[in-house]
Amino acid sequence: MAKQRTAVLGVGQTKYQSTRGDVSMAGLVREAALRALADAGMEWADIDAVVIGKAPDFFEGVMMPELYLADALGCVGKPILRVHTAGSVGGSTALVATSLIQGGIHRRVLTLGFEKQSESNATWALSLPQPFSVSINAGAGGYFSPIIRQYMAQSGAPDLIGCMVAFKDRQHALRNPYAHLHQHDLTFDQVVEAPMLWDPIRYSETCPSSDGACAMVLGDEASGDAATGPVAWVHGTAMRSEANNFPGRDEVNPQASRDCAADVFRQAGISDPRAEIDVVEMYVPFSWYEPMWLESIGFAERDAGWRMVEEGATHLDGGDLPVNCSGGVLSSNPIGASGMIRFAEAALQVRGMAGDHQVDGARRAFGHAYGGGAQYFAMWVVGAEKP
């Protein structure tokens, strides 16, 4: 049996915010799942399997939460898998769910990513003292800021490129009702003047901590054909991993990122990404990662990604390659869901269902997630037409 076509039939999200004090973890995931089912015009009984992903168990202190969540996700008597690939988990979860359909195992799969950051202590979980080693980094920013410094030095990018990305994403977020940060009065100067956290990353250039869940209902070709609403078709999927500290590693533009992008574009028959992709949702938790990933993925030449930012090429209004019209990770970050939100937003764009942050006429979109020490990558290309 050849690889089966896969469609995104429904998307469901919760409003991302610091604290969802009105729901338990089960309530949170169920809310997103029910919205995805409603969007797909389906009931729980229509789902054959569930694939769930989230960040480390230590965050919320629940070991293997798929066990506890099985009931809430209508999973009794069904298969459930829990994927965990660090920050890219939302993306790789969607890919594992897709593979169940591509391989002809199931016809309709519910996939979901979530994080209940308000019930977790991510800072603590990330700082668990490791035996026999000295802890020096305070958070992910401490890990990524040197890499950003390297990029700035080698590319000669002007200092404020990062601030431009942060400001853009927060502007975009104002047009996404689900986004966490809705900073209506934010000015560019406020972004620039925000306190420095990990030089050169300012507080205004980092992602928030959010409660949230994002779900998709994926279906086979027959399900896609039978859908009454618009669907997104999967044109390519790819995952790559590499070791994170080895001699000569290019941390600014990791080979795993380049290989992953090359693979997904090859599958989708894309030779000129900037021209052939209409809208991008990429995982940018720290502002400078937008120009860096633009280069690594192949939308921009090496050391020139920052020019796209400077020219406004990645802005929803007037840009030829809008990036993170949803507001991106910089505007909403329930860690376990963030990768899936990128994939889901890409699907919403080509279904014409992105509301006020819709890119007119978007036919092909790119979804991206990364994790670990910039070493895990998950990407997909979706389109309005069948591949």
Partner 1 sequence: MSGDSDSEVRLPESLNGVEPVQSVRTPIRLEYDYRPSASAESYLRAYAEKRIIGHRSPVDGAVFIPPRGVDPRHGVAISEEVDLPDTGHVGNFCVTHLPIPGRKGLEVPYVSAWIHLDGAAVGFLGLVRGCPSDEVRIGMRVRAVWRPDDELGTTAENIRHWEPTGEPDVPLEGAGNRSFHASQAGADAGESDA
Partner 2 sequence: MREVAVVATALHQVPALTDTTEVQLMVPLINAARDAVGITQADIGFTCSGSSDFLAGQAFSFVQTLDAVGAFPPICESHVEMDGAFALYEAWVKLQIGEVDTALVFSYGKSSPGSLRDVLALQLDPYFLAPLWPPADAVAALQARLLLESGLVGAEELAEIAVRSQRNAVGNPNAVRSSSEVTVADVMAEAPVADPLRPSDLAAESDGGCAVVLAAGDRARELCGRPAWIRGIDHRIDAHALGTRNLTRAPSAELATSVAVAAAGLTIDSLDLAELHSPTTSQEAILVREFGLGGSTEVNPSGGALAANTMMAAGLVRIAEAADRIINGRADRALAHATSGPCLQQNLVCVMAGE
**Which residues 6+ apart lie within 8 Å of 118 measured at CB?**
18, 19, 20, 21, 211
Tell me if 137 sits within 8 A of 143, measured CB to CB.
Answer: yes
Tell me if 55 sits within 8 A of 336, measured CB to CB.
Answer: yes
Is 260 a residue that touches partner 2 (CB under 8 A)? yes
Residues 227-246 that bind partner 2 (CB under 8 A): 238-244, 246
Choose the binding region for partner 2 from 61-69, 179-187, 288-296, 331-339 (rule: CB under 8 A): 61-69
Tell me if 337 sits within 8 A of 115, measured CB to CB.
Answer: yes
Tell me if 354 sits within 8 A of 344, measured CB to CB.
Answer: no
**Which residues 6+ apart lie within 8 Å of 189 measured at CB?**
none
As measured in angstroms, the least distance from the Cβ of 279 to partner 2 is 26
Closest by CA to 89, choosing from 109, 61, 114, is: 114
What is the DSSP annotation of 349-370? HHTT--GGGPPTT--EEEEEEE
Compare residues 71 and 311 and give the one whose CB is closer to partner 2: 71
Residues 196-225 that bind partner 1 (CB under 8 A): 196-199
User: Which tokens belong to 239?
Assistant: 């995952």
154/370 Cα distance (integer angstroms): 22
Q: φ, ψ for residue 155 (rounded to 5)?
A: -95, -15
As measured in angstroms, the least distance from the Cβ of 269 to partner 2 is 15
From candidates 23, 160, 174, 186, binder to partner 1 by CB under 8 A: 23
From candidates 46, 57, 251, 303, binder to partner 2 by CB under 8 A: 57
As measured in angstroms, the least distance from the Cβ of 350 to partner 2 is 23
Closest by CA to 307, choosing from 145, 156, 150, is: 156
End-to-end C-alpha distance for the chain, whole angstroms: 17
Is 131 a residue that touches partner 1 (CB under 8 A)? yes
Is 44 a residue that touches partner 2 (CB under 8 A)? no
**Which residues 6+ apart lie within 8 Å of 317 measured at CB?**
none
Residues 244-273 that bind partner 1 (CB under 8 A): 244-251
Is 177 a residue that touches partner 1 (CB under 8 A)? no
Compare residues 201 and 218 and give the one whose CB is closer to partner 1: 201
Choose the binding region for partner 1 from 155-163, 223-231, 240-248, 305-313 (rule: CB under 8 A): 240-248
Site string for partner 2, 108-147 (x = CB under 8 A): -----------------xx-x-x-----------------
Q: Which residues bind partner 2 (CB under 8 A)?
A: 1-3, 24-25, 56-64, 66-71, 75-86, 92, 95-96, 99-100, 102-105, 125-126, 128, 130, 238-244, 246, 254-256, 259-260, 372-373, 375
